[in-house]
Chain A
Amino acid sequence: MDSQRLGNELKKILPPGRVLTSSLERKMYSYDSSFHARFRSFVPDAVTLPRSTAEVAEIMRFASNNNIPVVPRGAGSGETCGCLAVRGGIVLDLSGWDTIEEVDAANMQVIVRPGVVHYILNEHLAGFGLFFPPDPGSTRMCTIGGMVANNSSGLRAVKYGTTEQYVLGLEVVLPDGRVITTGGTNCRALKNVSGLNLTKLFVGSEGTLGVITRIRLRVWPRPRARGIVMAVFGSLDEAPAAVLDVYQSGILPSGIEILDSSAIQAVNMYKPEINLPAAEAILLFEVDGNPAGVEWEGQKIVEITGKRALSVEWATDSQRMADLWRGRGVVAVAAARLRPDGSRIFAGEDISVPLSRVTEALRRIKELGREFGVAVVNYGHIGDGNVHTAPVINLENSDEVARANGLVDAIHRLAIELHGSTTGEHGVGAVRNQYALAEHGEAVNVMKRLKETLDPGNIMNPGKLLPPGEE
């Protein structure tokens, strides 16, 4: 169906103004935040802005009858082309459908529509003394729908885990337009083990199995206090050893971040006034909870890490905490400023490896950077082995772009070699599906069967998650 006819059909389903068909409007849905999308233009045939489950269901029925791909989209902050129409079709921009339907404080849960932005939800919950713990770096823009679809998490995943731990139930529109509720049709319980766990099946399914239209999330009481320890190390190996020491002392910090020498250098070049000590590694531990517990844990971490570190500092004063955190806060921007013509790219940016191999991963990534002639800055959530690599290249130089692609592939393969994963946070989309077999083996065939069962026409976000051409 050509784009114009498709638009006309969709205009019969949605009210005026909620179908975008001009070539310019569609082009503005051709990107997310991935490196890949900078060089490929995935222009959808139509963009829709649905605002109700009935509208989504009707679009799905129409698409399924006409065999047209449908791609759900949140804020488009993803790094993997997940929300892009790689095989054309209809994009559902759900980011404007952003109602917080109910804060059920008595039952420690909240019910939202998919477009609610993460920080808005937490601002709202703060009024009830509650919070939704997963904390992606994209809090200012990413939607809860996108977070559920990608099973997102952030630097506090060490203690609070990922989105999946908080999803109690979902309303999902299936590819044929049927609407189901997972986690019990009328359930408000916090525990529920009846039936197969379909909620978990849809969490992290990246829009390939259905459209998430309503989300029931578990929420937690907000911690009352916070503190930060900064420990500076003369050798990279001491950093993970110090992390292990802290764990073994019975303390579970809410976050543990690492900046390696490349990151320290980048921060100091970008903002000399931050003046990070020139070291091999800096660790930032965050602890939260009740004030007495926070103080005790902070002091204990100082004592433990002090045995290996060159220097350690503990802060609970908000200004000082902000100062200590500044290096971590600006590292991503600092990376982009490594060279005047450089841009930071999001590719190979979030591998995860076993804790015991974090140092090895950091070292090998640096070596790979040298081998491919690409500048890299490394930082990450060392507490759970999630390594963030920021390659910095001149996007206009095709040779550099090719070398960056080579580097990224090598980083992904390194993750698998080190018994880790190509992605600890951002998902697979259309950029890591080529590693699906290497990562999952025979399990990929089960994934394929599940996909076929729910989406026999393969219209739901095709070209993602499963090995290319094999869905």
Chain B
Amino acid sequence: MSMDLNSLKEHYLRCVRCGQCRAVCPVFAGIGNETAAPRGKVFLAHMLAAGELKADAEIAHNLSLCLLCRACTRECPSAVPVHKIITAARSLLAREVPNTLQKIIFKEIWSRSSLLNISARLLRGCQNLGLTVLGRSMGMLPPALDLVGKLPRRPARSFISEVTRPEGAPRIKVGYFLGCATNLMFPHVARSTVAVLSLLGCEVITPRELKCCGLPQEENGQMDVAESLARSNFAAFQRLGSKAIVTDCASCFAALKDSSAFKDIEIMDLFQLLNGLLPGHNLKKIDRAITYHDPCHLAKAQGITAAPRELLTRICPGFREMPGANSCCGGGGSFMLYHYNTSMGILDKKISAIKETGAKIVTTSCPSCTMQIRHGLAKQGLPIPVIHPVELLAQTLGIIF
């Protein structure tokens, strides 16, 4: 995960500035001029590294205009890892023009689970008292806070034990990486994942001391924090003897896959594992039309597109592909906090694509995408739930909580 801008020199020098990455960048499509093009961001990073531009707030702003969706990296014919270059440039900027708000959120809060828990409870308290509405009307809170929705009462951590025994004969032992967003905002997803895995014969290990996967910190230039989080998470799984890990969060998956800290531990794709374990089990198929949105961290970062579809078509004959399923929803973790309007412009396209399918349920496997798409659907008054494929799977396997 270590990425110093200078160490990426051979990569940014290889950018021939052909502009092909303009074809796929959702932020560029929204803003519509070169200042938002991936090529432009590589150019800025190059100029920063070469000392031809000085780090300042304007450059920081330009480099923040990126969802880190990696569409450009996949598209680039010269194999330039654009998202890594942008991340490394942000890291340099974070050192040279520290942005206090970003720092507080990503360094202090997200990396310490106790603080994160307190903040989440505070947020829930505010919501209960109607304070978010008040705060927003007074201009104190960003509109993006709506995206968080109402926080559940209990985090997943409170009801998932460190070791969950398999039902019936054990088939494999697997570590479960419980991410922050899933833990705090989507505990029912974690509950489904653990229940499904255990029903299918897995002993599920969920270390108590897990911390954030490090992705939010990395995306905002706090590379050192991200690395130390990864090392500590690795140690947690090692303590319990996990040789393989799955996660239900696309972003955590990308972070774990990219990390060099996880030596000798296999990071497995949850969908592939489930597809392998399912044969022989009775499924009560879902009879409603569903569709699937590819999280960037799964599809573009790891090229995983077929396995989730295989699972969904298995459990739901009415699966419908949406146009541009692989295009970003505009969430991008903290992107929606900083660039709400651009993010909403990108989201509108996604919602139109969903509407076109006539689907009654949207599925996706990323907390950030889930919040974002829910927000988009709610804005248009569409009563379509956005849920994780494992929740549907739990249902078809007859799991009742």
Enumerate B70-99 residues with CB–CB distance to A below 8 Å. Answer: 75, 77-79
B-side contacts of A333, CB under 8 Å: 77-79
Q: Which of B30-45 contact A (CB under 8 A)?
A: 32-35, 37, 40, 43-44
For the complex, what is the distance from the CA of A32 to the CA of B58, rounded to whole Å?
Answer: 22
Is A20's CB within 8 Å of the partner chain B? Answer: yes
Asked whether any CB of chain A lies closer than 8 Å to the CB of B178, the reply is no
Complexed CA–CA distance, A85 and B34 (Å) = 15
Does A93 make an interface contact (CB < 8 A)?
yes
Q: B63 → chain A, closest Cβ, in Å?
A: 11
Contacts of B53 on A, CB cut-off 8 Å? 24, 27
In the bound complex, do residue B33 and residue A141 qualify as a contact, i.e. CB atoms below 8 Å apart? Answer: no
In the complex, A344 Cα to B14 Cα: how many Å?
Answer: 7
A32 contacts across to B, CB distance below 8 A:
17
Residues 27-71 of chain A, each 1 if its beta carbon lies under 8 Å from chain B, else 0: 111011100011000000001010000000000000000000000
Of chain A, the residue at the smallest CB distance from B59 is A24
CA distance A117 to B47 in the complex (A): 28
Chain A residues, CB < 8 A from B47: 27
Nearest Cβ on chain B to A49's Cβ, whole angstroms: 6
Which segment, of A229-237, A301-309, A319-327, A335-343, faces chain B?
A335-343
Contacts of B77 in A (CB 8 A): 332-333
Give the contacting residue for B23; candidates A37, A93, A140; CB below 8 A: A140
With a cutoff of 8 Å between Cβ atoms, the chain B residues found around residue A346 in the complex are 16
Within the assembled complex, what's the spacing in Å between the Cα atoms of A375 and B32? 38
Q: Which of B10, B16, B22 is the one whose CB lies under 8 Å from A75?
A: B22
A119 and B58 CA atoms in complex are apart in Å by 33
Q: Mark out the residues of chain A between 350 and 400 whose CB falls within 8 Å of any chain B CB in the assembled complex.
A: 395-396
How far apart are A48's CB and chain B's nearest CB, in angstroms? 10
* Residue ID in chain A nearest B41 by CB atoms: A28
**Interchain CB contact under 8 A, A20 and B35:** yes
| CA of A396 to CA of B43, assembled, Å | 15
**Which one of A24, A119, A336, A346 has the greatest number of beta carbons of chain B within 10 Å?**
A24
Note all chain B residues with C-beta closer than 8 A to A332: 77-78
Q: Which residue of A lies closest to B52 (CB)?
A: A41
Q: Does B138 contact A (CB under 8 A)?
A: no
Task: Enumerate chain B residues within 8 angstroms of A33, measured Cβ to Cβ.
Answer: 16-19
Q: Please classify how large the interface on chain A is, using the bins under 10, 10 to 19, 20 to 34, 35 or more.
A: 35 or more
- A25/B14 contact (C-beta < 8 A), A33-B19, A141-B22 known: no
Query: Is the C-beta of A316 less than 8 angstroms from some C-beta in chain B?
Result: no
- Complex Cα distance, B23 from A119, in Å, reads 9
**Contact call A31/B10, Cβ cutoff below 8 A:** no
Known: A119-B23, A336-B14. A20 touches B78 (CB 8 A): no
Contact of A93 with B79 in the complex, beta carbons under 8 Å = no
Shortest distance from the beta carbon of A469 to any chain B beta carbon, whole Å? 27
* Shortest distance between the CB of B47 and any CB in chain A (Å): 8
Smallest beta-carbon distance A31→chain B, Å? 5
A269 nearest CB across to chain B (Å)? 14
Provided the pairs A28-B34, A75-B22 are in contact, do residues A340 and B10 lie with their beta carbons within 8 angstroms?
A: yes
Whether the Cβ atoms of A24 and B20 lie closer than 8 Å is: no
Complex CA gap A422/B189 in Å reads 62
A96 and B33 contact, Cβ closer than 8 Å, known pairs A24-B62, A117-B23, A346-B16:
yes
User: For the complex, is A22 an interface residue (Cβ under 8 Å from B)?
Assistant: yes
In the assembled complex, B134 has its CB within 8 A of some CB on chain A: no
A208 at the interface (CB under 8 A from B): no
Pick the residue among A29, A117, A343 that contacts B34 (CB under 8 A): A29
What's the Cα separation between A75 and B22 when bound, in Å?
A: 8
Chain A neighbourhood of B20, CB < 8 A: 77, 138, 140-141
Residues of A contacting B32 with CB < 8 Å?
49, 95-96
Question: Closest CB-CB distance, B38 to chain A, in whole Å?
Answer: 11
Give the 5 A-B residue pairs with the shortest CB-CB distance, closest first: A96-B32, A140-B23, A141-B19, A77-B19, A28-B40
Q: Residues on B close to A: CB < 8 A?
A: 10, 13-14, 16-20, 22-23, 32-35, 37, 40, 43-44, 47, 53, 58-59, 62, 75, 77-79
Chain A residues within 8 Å of B, Cβ to Cβ? 20, 22, 24-25, 27-29, 31-33, 37-38, 47, 49, 75-77, 93, 95-96, 117, 119, 138, 140-142, 332-333, 336, 340-341, 343-346, 395-396
7 A-B contacts (beta carbon < 8 Å): A33-B17, A77-B19, A77-B20, A95-B33, A138-B19, A140-B23, A343-B13
